[in-house]
Amino acid sequence: MNTTANANLFSRLFDGIDDPNRLAIEQIDGSRITYGDLIARAGQMANVLIARGVKTGDRVAAQTEKSVSALVLYLATVRAGAVYLPLNTAYTLNELEYFITDAEPSLVVCDPSKLEGIKTIAAKVNAKVETLDASGNGSLTEAADKANTDFATVPRSNDDLAAILYTSGTTGRSKGAMLSHDNLASNSHSLVSYWRFTNKDVLIHALPIYHTHGLFVASNVTLFARASMIFLPKFDPDLILKLMARATVMMGVPTFYTRLLQNPGLTKDATKHMRLFISGSAPLLADTHREWSARTGHAVLERYGMTETNMNTSNPYDGDRVPGAVGHPLPGVSVRVTDPETGTELAPETIGMIEVKGPNVFKGYWRMPDKTKAEFRPDGFFITGDLGKIDDKGYVHILGRGKDLVISGGFNVYPKEIESEIDAMPGVVESAVIGVPHTDFGEGVTAVLVCNKGADVSEASVLKALDGRLAKFKMPKRVFVVDELPRNAMGKVQKNILRDTYKDIYKA
């Protein structure tokens, strides 16, 4: 898909802009950035990148706090024909060394507090270093202030790279997913129409911008629609509730929804100006979906995507938004469920490996041709690593990561099935089911759960309630009640941490 002569994502986002005075971004300090400002600012920063020696196809790595300048850096990098490489703000210098030496950027942008350490690492790959702090100031913005706003967007073709995003890497080394200009542009275009975005929309943007959700889904969709976003440095439930009076859409991870539900201010009245709540990046519990509908009158629209594929499926804007399901494939995206061993397509309602194909799917892992080859089928489908099924109505359901599958006594146990049973019990907030090494069974099914304060839930009561509802081989061998489940910034439960915590419990 190419709507303009230059397939550069920046041209596709901004060429032919009708009204440069239209609001693009507002911040809580009241500052307002128009589309014209954004384009001019990206021009200044692109000029700085070129002056620092960044060439077409070079990587620009950035570990910066969320700020408008950080978003401009992304736009400027793409505009300059370079490849944007955002890095999670939680990464330590030790971790950054791996990413920087692997990606070999020509420029690294970091927080001033990390400057010395980053300089040492950057020197190993001859990269230059600039700074950007949480308020968007630093050596990069100082240079940009003095630069020319005019910049001729570098021509790029559909398959040229616009970004590399490293996957979270809970198993083995993190891999750099290479995303092209068309991967990003085509997916955002689809989402604008699927979710009915218009220039009247005001998005509450409280997600981080080093991840596909906040960077591409939230920002690109808003900009393509000529809508505006309220750019928040972090998730703040009280503030978000206030902003709902004048916003129209919120994109969030499931923890946004569970935390907002704990706030008594969440009512039908507080959300009456909003037209759409979208959730993704981790499973939204069916209970949370129902509770949200009851409290606000809005059915959350859940969608499914990943770093490598952008967005794959979405619940419908009009039809039923089914709790616990991630909806239908987006236009142009093919989704199938296969036998993980043979790759043979399975019938509806059968659980297997989810595979996807379409203009949204990435170009492979950076400098890992073998790994890339291993994760694509010969007919071009990408093997997502997610287990799931497609139901009779065509809705996709995710049943967990393949690596989270528990094999106990030779039987496959899908954690989601047991988690759903436990989550439905009175007093239980949420649960995570994991496989832990077991001398007799290979892996022992183990449940870890969080309960409401003061709830009368114990290992014995959970096992009693499950008895007769689950086949014997699926029954947890142990149940642990904890205060909270370990989660990463995108709200994903870190089962690898749980597996490590409980790794010795069945040892003889």
Binding mask 335-374 for ligand AMP (x = CB under 6 A): ----------------------------------------
Residues from 7 through 26 that contact ligand AMP (CB under 6 A): none
CB of 259 to ligand AMP, least distance (A): 17
Give the nearer residue to ligand AMP in terms of CB position, either 33 or 326.
326
Give the nearer residue to ligand AMP in terms of CB position, either 136 or 283.
283
168 binds ligand AMP (CB under 6 A): yes
Query: Which stretch, 24-32, 274-282, 337-345, 473-481, contacts ligand AMP (CB under 6 A)?
Result: 274-282
Distance of CA 77 to the CA centre of its chain: 21
How many residues interact with ligand AMP (rule CB under 6 A)? 18
Report the alpha-carbon distance of residue 410 to residue 408 in Å, rounded.
5
CB of 335 to ligand AMP, least distance (A): 12
77 binds ligand AMP (CB under 6 A): no
252 binds ligand AMP (CB under 6 A): no
Give the nearer residue to ligand AMP in terms of CB position, either 110 or 284.
284
Contacts with 290 (C-beta within 8 Å, 6 or more apart), sequence order? 323
Conformational region of residue 67, where left means phi above 0, alpha means psi within -120 to 50, and beta covers everything else: beta
Pairing of strands 176-180, 161-166: antiparallel
**Token code pair at residue 119:** 């300089």
DSSP-derived secondary structure letter, 196: T
Distance of CA 290 to the CA centre of its chain: 23
CB of 414 to ligand AMP, least distance (A): 13
Binding mask 299-328 for ligand AMP (x = CB under 6 A): ---x-xxxx------------------x--
170 binds ligand AMP (CB under 6 A): no
Query: Which stretch, 103-111, 130-138, 146-154, 278-286, contacts ligand AMP (CB under 6 A)?
Result: 278-286
Report the alpha-carbon distance of residue 316 to residue 318 in Å, rounded.
5
Give the nearer residue to ligand AMP in terms of CB position, either 33 or 396.
396
Crossing angle for the helix pair 415-423 and 459-466, to the nearest 10 degrees = 110
Distances (CA, A) of 255 to 237, 260, 280, 288, 490: 11, 8, 10, 10, 8
Pairing of strands 228-231, 202-205: parallel
Give the nearer residue to ligand AMP in terms of CB position, either 282 or 368.
282
CB of 452 to ligand AMP, least distance (A): 24
From the list 86, 105, 176, 283, which residue makes contact with ligand AMP (rule: CB under 6 A)? 283
Give the nearer residue to ligand AMP in terms of CB position, either 283 or 358.
283
CB of 463 to ligand AMP, least distance (A): 27
CB of 449 to ligand AMP, least distance (A): 19
Residues from 178 through 217 that contact ligand AMP (CB under 6 A): 212
**Token code pair at residue 227:** 């809508």
DSSP codes of every residue in 291-356: HHHHHHS---EEEEEETTTEEEEE--SSS---TT--BEEPTT-EEEEE-TTT-PBPPTT--EEEEE
Crossing angle for the helix pair 93-103 and 115-124, to the nearest 10 degrees = 30
Amino acid at 322: V
494 binds ligand AMP (CB under 6 A): no
Residues from 148 through 167 that contact ligand AMP (CB under 6 A): 167
282 binds ligand AMP (CB under 6 A): yes
Q: Which residues of 274-299 are buried (b: 16+ CB within 10 A; e: fewer)?
A: bbbbbbbbbbbbbbbbebbeebbebb
281 binds ligand AMP (CB under 6 A): yes
Report the alpha-carbon distance of residue 2 to residue 212 in Å, rounded.
22
Amino acid at 167: T
491 binds ligand AMP (CB under 6 A): no
Give the nearer residue to ligand AMP in terms of CB position, either 8 or 307.
307
Crossing angle for the helix pair 68-79 and 139-146, to the nearest 10 degrees = 60
CB of 281 to ligand AMP, least distance (A): 5
Report the alpha-carbon distance of residue 43 to residue 192 in Å, rounded.
25
384 binds ligand AMP (CB under 6 A): yes
Residues from 385 through 414 that contact ligand AMP (CB under 6 A): 386, 398, 401
CB of 398 to ligand AMP, least distance (A): 4
Give the nearer residue to ligand AMP in terms of CB position, either 17 or 282.
282
**Residues near ligand AMP, by CB under 6 A:** 167-168, 212, 280-283, 302, 304-307, 326, 384, 386, 398, 401, 490
